[in-house]
Structure 1
Amino acid sequence: MVGGGQLARMTHEAGIPLGIRFKLLSDTPQDSAAQVVSDVVVGDFRDLDTLRAFAQGCDVITFDHEHVPIEHLRALEADGIPVRPGPDALVHAQDKGVMRARLSAIGAPCPRHRVVADPADVERFATTEGDGFPVVLKTVRGGYDGKGVWVVHSAAEAAEPFRAGVPVLAEEKVDFVRELAANVVRSPHGQAVAYPVVESIQVDGVCDTVIAPAPDLPDDLSVRAQRLALTIAKELGVVGHLAVELFEVRDAAGNPQILVNELAMRPHNSGHWTQDGAITSQFANHVRAVLDLPLGDPRPRERWTVMTNVLGGDYPDMYAAYLHCMARDPGLKIHMYGKDVKPGRKVGHVTTYGEVLDEVRERARHAADYLRGTITE
């Protein structure tokens, strides 16, 4: 696996019961996955020679991020190394301009958008193709967790995104009801499964809480979202896990609709709830898919599951808070990533589940806030 973050750590964990041996290409020995995987190569994934040397002896290559250069992945495939997802699919998660063009071509509902050349072009987009300002600007490559995204209210505010030296995508600012995510997994021979559509609650551009399934989501819209994600996975040739981040909106008649916001071709934060709340987790199904094994059951174990991210806060050692959280809620599941605790850094997550949504949400919120130090009782 290329990438040593927490996604690789949890994917490795899911492969242990199957006897899968992982080899990891990690930036540093301190990376989350590098702390638990036995076979670690420390190196730069942007260097082709490093990738080629790492790939020797691997049956298949997969990733916990989308940033490996596409031309390097094509070189690995030319060397006879299976890469899943392959470069033809992964480019749609790397480049937002390519993604929007392809999604539009297959009829997937998207916000109005266009790649723009400069602030004056942003103003032309706003006045002729959108509903005026504000407009959302995104660098087509390299953004994540709110980075590389700007909401601008005039052409004068639009200069900053162009300083990165990469193309910029302009999108209408969507007046959405809430954010959803449809997670699916697809294998090389075309078997696919869909998890329940979830609600994803963002705070300052970072995923804070995921509720599975999304409360009060009409059945027809849920099915539509799952079918859309499965169609995207098939049309783009995705192998492994695909997260389709969605906006729930209302049309002119007040009917609920969905628009595609982003794609991620790897296990995703919106699917972390499956680690404890689904019969087969996103991590286990991703492993099965990239190895072309039969996929597991994606159905939930309980009526409601809530995942809340734990951000670094006032506790330099939040492990001391385990005693309180575990004693207060024996059903709580805590997943920490082995990262140094820094304010605002995503260092873990908690999951809770049960029959009453308000109770399940309160349990997850209390644990995450206590581990962060926001509350002390």
Structure 2
Amino acid sequence: MQTHRIALIPGDGIGQEVTPAACSILDAVGKRHGYELSYDSFDWSCARFRSEGAMMPANGLDQIRHHDAIFLGAVGDPSVPDHVSLWGLLIPIRRQFQQYVNLRPIRVFDGVPSPVRSATSEVDFVVVRENVEGEYSEIGGRMNRGFPSEMAVQEAVFTRAGVTRIVDYAFTLAQGRGKHVTSATKSNGIVHTMPFWDEVVAERAGTFPDIAWTQEHIDALCAKVVLDPARFDVIVASNLFGDILSDLAAAVAGSIGVAPAANLNPERDFPSMFEPVHGSAPDIAGQGVANPVGAVWTGAMMVRHLGHAEAADEIEQAIASLFATTDLRTRDLGGTATTREFIDALLERLS
């Protein structure tokens, strides 16, 4: 039995509910596939911020640096400003552990109607988002606070190394999929960083002659993801564009509650972090009605990353089968099932 140490951070809101639910699935499947997950739990959250003044302790990163992976539930609470909670936990982990690939699969499951009429089960693509630089830099500031002349400056930072590695990851990923990459840009309006992005994409594309590729301005690309989502295979985008696109695409797939995500350090010099897209959803927290699919699918991505592809396939197939052959749905998908009921049905299929 192979054991993997997991840093478990349930976080806030529904993260406290869907994280243990997902772990029960991962543990059940692990018994058959020869792995065991050993969890070290951390209370890092907005609740901790309110009591301790920080989302995590000063040596928090050192505490999880040597784990095999990080499984995060959700971050955010109305009592703590979003930029405080995000920059106090999620972004430091991503940046200090060089998790420069944010990977977000998008799939329309049979039996889950999309709000987009043309979106069928043929929709199956991946958004590859640059995760540590770009528009979400730390460079900038504010001046003259409280005066009519108050101003704020935020600098976007794109490096050749950063763009190259995310583009290479996307093209390599496409080699095992549909062999097509779409690059998100806005070089007609953003005069420095986006033309630079385009140049690097074109250079790197030349080293992948077997992969077809196109580039799309982000505004037109958002429209096309809605109008014809099945046309896409791998979309590569900057930090901001990838963030927006992946949430839009999750809505196209039926609900943000089903969307998984991974923050990857491909070189494995540091642990990678796995977190569902849906956030803490404080409006339904504590009611037991949150959709656990995003967390379960995220857990499957973590298990795959740890080397257990067959176990991950089994979990993903169980999700697809449950949607395709039953009418069991949580509230966000128009049903009445509780988190526990959905997990129990998954466990039954995986038993």
TM-score under structure 1 length normalisation = 0.34
TM-score w.r.t. structure 2 length? 0.36
Higher relative contact order (CA 8 A, sep 6+): 2
